[in-house]
Amino acid sequence: MPYVGRDFEPMDTGETKDLSFDFSGELGDCDSVTSATWSISVVTGTDASAATRLSGDPTITCGSKVTQRHTTLQDGVRYRTQCTATTRNGETLILYSHVRGIAVDDEG
């Protein structure tokens, strides 16, 4: 399961953001992503409802980029977000990264 080599920017606990993985470097010639599923789990911190931080279905664009909406991450929790993609050639590819929830102080 290849780590993409970088973590996503932290997300405010009230924020909803689309996060994406680009599988182009993992795909063989003339291959493309045909379906994908995302999962999210807690690395550090506590969130008994981590699976609910993913909203809606993933989207695939340009045959290689898979995007999933992430929402209301919990303050101080570091998550592992992972995408499992199936390709036209029948391969299963997995990419993952991390994203942290942070509470932004509105008072400045």
User: Within a domain: residue 38?
Assistant: yes
* pTM of the predicted protein model: 0.91
User: Within a domain: residue 91?
Assistant: yes
Give per-residue pLDDT as tens, 13-46. Answer: 999 999 999 999 999 889 999 999 999 999 999 9
Give the model's pLDDT for residue 16.
97
74 lies in which domain range? 11-101
User: Within a domain: residue 80?
Assistant: yes
User: Within a domain: residue 107?
Assistant: no
**Considering its fold, how many domains does the chain have in total?**
1
Give the contacts of 75 (CB within 8 A, at least 6 positions apart).
Answer: 13, 101, 102, 103
User: Within a domain: residue 108?
Assistant: no
Taking phi over 0 as left and psi of -120 to 50 as alpha, with beta for the rest, 48 belongs to alpha
User: Within a domain: residue 47?
Assistant: yes
